[in-house]
Amino acid sequence: MQSILSFYNDENYRWMKLRNLFIAPLAEEAIFRACLIPPLLASTSKDGEPLSPIATAWIGPLFFGVAHLHHFYEQYRQMPPWQRSRNIVFQLLFGLLFQWAYTTLFGAYVSHVFIRTASLSVVTLAHVVCNYVGLPEIGFVNPTSNLYCYRWIISILYLVGICLFVAGFDSLVFPTQSVLPSLLYPQR
């Protein structure tokens, strides 16, 4: 118990929390939303058509997802050489693919919010909340879990939550007109 308490009192832990909850969200949203989304909206296809806000909301986050790929290298580098088997590398690659998928999905959501609201503070706050909450707990699928008997109900609730999340892209919370393109190009 003492080692756990000393970890949470450790200076490095406090810096890690500061980085994950404030510095990284602010820096990443400034770069990947404020600096990347407007040029993508300004770009045109070969036929001269502007990139749509929806396409921009899905293309921009690909860069955000790729920016998180360094976690694979860090995990591999910190692993002792005698543990670096093919099976472990595949597990790390699967984790990397999973992380790329959820960072890209989250990036699509905050890109959509940024395009609709043009508010860097709103997407930064969403990023802070996401980093604080983390990924949903899926330990209920383990047969030794106390929640295992409820796995179908919990899975259905997760699916409903995902559907509501997707439906929320067109909710009443956002303006019907995307704000950022109208600010960039008032003549459109």
Domain ranges of the chain: 2-184
Residues catalogued as catalytic:
28, 68
pLDDT (0 to 100) of residue 25: 94
pLDDT at residue 50 is higher than 60: yes
pLDDT at residue 105 is higher than 70: yes
Q: How confident is the model at residue 28 (pLDDT cuts 50, 70, 90)?
A: very high
Closest residue by Cα to residue 37 from 113, 151, 101, 133: 113
pLDDT at residue 152 is higher than 90: yes
pLDDT (0 to 100) of residue 70: 80
pLDDT (0 to 100) of residue 98: 83
Q: How confident is the model at residue 41 (pLDDT cuts 50, 70, 90)?
A: confident
Q: How far apart are the first and last CA of the chain?
A: 62
The residue length of the chain stands at 188
pLDDT at residue 2 is higher than 60: no
Between these two residues, 128 and 100, which has the higher pLDDT value?
Answer: 128
Q: How confident is the model at residue 150 (pLDDT cuts 50, 70, 90)?
A: very high
Average pLDDT, stretch 64-73?
Answer: 80
Neighbours of 149 (CB within 10 A): 10
Q: Which helix (H) or strand (E) holds 37?
A: helix 37-42
pLDDT at residue 1 is higher than 60: no
Closest residue by Cα to residue 31 from 132, 169, 135, 124: 124
Average pLDDT, stretch 81-95?
Answer: 81
Average pLDDT, stretch 36-47?
Answer: 85
Contact 65, 108 (CB under 8 A): no
* R_g over Cα of the chain: 20
